[in-house]
Structure 1
């Protein structure tokens, strides 16, 4: 499936087709968002589809490091020409990983984050979605304005938590906020390090946080830490590990859901998401 052939520069087609945008977020740092986003992107490339990875942690992004990439350009370099940028020009700023993932790195210094205005985020996402089947966006901790913008554009939001009490407490607050904004219907709960020793047990987390179900990723801290340190995703060189199997399962679920949705027209899907509460009250 090649979306780029049928899309204009805004990432739109007559049929409303575009890539699917998955935003990975969490209420606090250090809970494994980047490792999950990077490995999910690489796992999806095994399906021979076009995958992009955008580092949306504009102050302290680690996507390039996690893939052992040394970017010549970052999203900061895209910003000055964003008004005239098309998808072909943007392609020159993407870094190609050996897996096939095309990544756009975060600025290399925290103060440059202020240069990434909402118009830059909007245009970059649209142009990447015009040439990709999936765009995975890694975000920083919490809900800064940029993360809220990614969330608004997302087709699916993966909210990551762990079994630690502080993570659960803050995740609850984050989920409450997303519900108030009307994004609950596109939110998935991901319990990372689900097999770690904890007073709170993994199967209890969805109920605590008001979800019927969750995706679970097992705890293999040494393997994940080594993967991040050497910049080789564990789905590439540790594909038989339990943590890699969990990420591959997540990728499978995304693909199967996408294949089902292909048969349903998705016209006006953003409006439907934004006004979900209204439509829900009338059904």
Structure 2
């Protein structure tokens, strides 16, 4: 594999030094494989005019934060499998948390030890090779499917349910919102992206025969890519793809896998609901990037509000502020805390309020039947139905199928009871 190096730095000497470092760790390295630019605009022009696999190295820059530049590039090019990003900064600039959010493969100082530089390059090249391999499979699959698929494709809306701590009812709400939309005759898919401890099958009382792990392992390896055999169908009309059966399998699911899964489901469903874990790992960041709406679920307790505020600040850093809607679950005002105080803490208006109804919800969970089905007349079910409908444009809501009336049996009163 021929790999080029594209360097962005406002310091011309950085590119010269980098070329020398590359020659030291890669015998036979040709300087012609390294292209240097000094501005973001020039970098974007280079990326638009070349499809050659490249490792982008961002060095010291004037103006914008290198982390912002890296994040913009990685998010702008999430569908491009020919590019990975490496950061090389001054020691005082290094921030591992921001590097994670930016989606880079590694971060180094501008003058790293030889073994660290070599290790980072190997990691970047391995990541690039894996992306290219997956891309070849994906393109073969896309060509195969486009030749066979004559049905009109959908362009599904992506809704991500997010929380910063467990126990706020996020998964319960996502499952019931999905069921509510399915009752409106929309094609709804749920991705259980809590890859270590997902509970979506439990709430639907469905044992998955296959999971996202099986799809990644079998379908992509065989260049088939068909998602449908891995979707679990619930009687409500909702279909979901389950998390892996064992927590350790989560490591085998990458951001690229999640991106491809979302792309496939967008073609087949009106709504894709993604239930996420309370962490900002790579797979979550990909889902957030694809999201049309990000629903941050919080509740009337201080830890949830504190973490909610941190999440909002982080989302602002990632550029997701406009997508976020705050949902207050288990709404029950208490002494010293009301809606106004919550909005003041979060600095954002509440989008929806779901009332507290412990008995209805816990009974629903224990039965494995969403409460919008098991208890449709309760306030929590009615509110959740309205909340779900507010997530889609009125034109997409379809009339519910009329329920068939039971046949009358004239002499049923005389039948023996079972």
Range into which the TM-score falls when normalised by the shorter chain:
0.7 to 0.9
Corresponding residue for residue 229 of structure 1: 366
1:38 aligns with 2:154: no
Alignment of 1:16-35 (within 5 A): 18-35=155-172
Asked if 2 retains the 8 angstrom alpha-carbon contact of 1:164 and 1:198, the reply is no
Relative distance call for 1:198 and 1:42 in structure 2 (3 A) is farther
Corresponding residue for residue 290 of structure 2: 153
Q: Secondary structure of 2:310's partner?
A: helix
Q: Quote how far apart the aligned CAs of 1:76 are.
A: 0.4
Asked if 1 retains the 8 angstrom alpha-carbon contact of 2:254 and 2:282, the reply is no
Relative distance call for 1:85 and 1:121 in structure 2 (3 A) is farther
Where structure 2 has 5 or more consecutive residues not aligned to the other structure, the ranges are: 1-141, 147-151, 398-418
Asked if 1 retains the 8 angstrom alpha-carbon contact of 2:168 and 2:297, the reply is yes
CA distance in 2, matches of 1:129, 1:258: 18
CA distance in 2, matches of 1:195, 1:90: 41
Relative distance call for 1:16 and 1:129 in structure 2 (3 A) is closer
Deviations 1:1-57 (A, max 9, x none): xxxxxx9969xxxx9961001000101011000000000000001111100011010
1:139 aligns with 2:282: no
Corresponding residue for residue 215 of structure 2: 78
Q: Quote how far apart the aligned CAs of 1:217 are.
A: 0.5
Q: Quote how far apart the aligned CAs of 1:119 are.
A: 1.6
Q: Which structure is larger by alpha-carbon Rg, 1 or 2?
A: 2
Q: CA RMSD in A?
A: 2.2
Q: Quote how far apart the aligned CAs of 1:257 are.
A: 6.0
CA distance in 2, matches of 1:222, 1:196: 18
Q: Quote how far apart the aligned CAs of 1:256 are.
A: 2.7
Q: Secondary structure of 1:61's partner?
A: coil
Alignment of 1:243-282 (within 5 A): 243-256=380-393
Relative distance call for 1:257 and 1:181 in structure 2 (3 A) is farther
More deviation, 235-244/68-77: 235-244
Q: Secondary structure of 1:214's partner?
A: strand
Corresponding residue for residue 264 of structure 1: none
Corresponding residue for residue 266 of structure 1: none
Q: Which has the higher contact order (CA 8 A, sep 6+)?
A: 1
CA distance in 2, matches of 1:145, 1:252: 30
Q: Quote how far apart the aligned CAs of 1:213 are.
A: 3.4
Q: Secondary structure of 2:273's partner?
A: strand
1:117 aligns with 2:254: yes
Q: Quote how far apart the aligned CAs of 1:252 are.
A: 1.6
Q: Quote how far apart the aligned CAs of 1:108 are.
A: 1.2
Asked if 2 retains the 8 angstrom alpha-carbon contact of 1:76 and 1:112, the reply is yes
Normalised by the size of structure 2, how large is the TM-score? 0.56
Asked if 1 retains the 8 angstrom alpha-carbon contact of 2:154 and 2:268, the reply is no
- Find 1:172's aligned residue among 309, 330, 334: 309
Asked if 2 retains the 8 angstrom alpha-carbon contact of 1:196 and 1:219, the reply is no
Q: Quote how far apart the aligned CAs of 1:118 are.
A: 1.4
Deviations 1:124-164 (A, max 9, x none): 11111110000001111132222121111111000000110
Asked if 2 retains the 8 angstrom alpha-carbon contact of 1:74 and 1:104, the reply is yes
Relative distance call for 1:97 and 1:180 in structure 2 (3 A) is same
Asked if 1 retains the 8 angstrom alpha-carbon contact of 2:327 and 2:354, the reply is yes
Corresponding residue for residue 163 of structure 1: 300
Asked if 1 retains the 8 angstrom alpha-carbon contact of 2:159 and 2:291, the reply is yes
Q: Secondary structure of 1:190's partner?
A: strand
Q: Secondary structure of 2:347's partner?
A: coil
CA distance in 1, matches of 2:167, 2:335: 17
Corresponding residue for residue 330 of structure 2: 193
- Find 1:184's aligned residue among 288, 300, 321: 321
Corresponding residue for residue 276 of structure 1: none
